[in-house]
Amino acid sequence: TTGDPSVPLLATEKILRTLKAPLWVGEDEIFSDASVGIVTFPHDGDTAETLTKAANLALYYAKRTG
């Protein structure tokens, strides 16, 4: 990555916008939603285990806060 913390945030916002767009299946309009938790190395952890734990906490926070 570039080390710029805005890069993962901008990418996540684009993904969420795409997922929230309505999808037409035949005559039915379908809506979806998603939650994303973002962590960065090494700020949030320096091993796979600590990054995974931090990512899970970030995801749960995102789900709670909408």
- How many other CB atoms sit within 10 Å of the CB of residue 36? 17
Classify residue 58 as exposed, middle or buried by CB count within 10 Å of its CB (0-12, 13-18, 19+): middle
pLDDT at 53: 96
Residue type, 56: N
* Cis bond before residue 42 (omega within 30° of 0): yes
Answer whether residue 13 shows pLDDT above 80: yes
* 26-53 residue pLDDT tens: 999 999 989 888 898 899 999 999 999 9
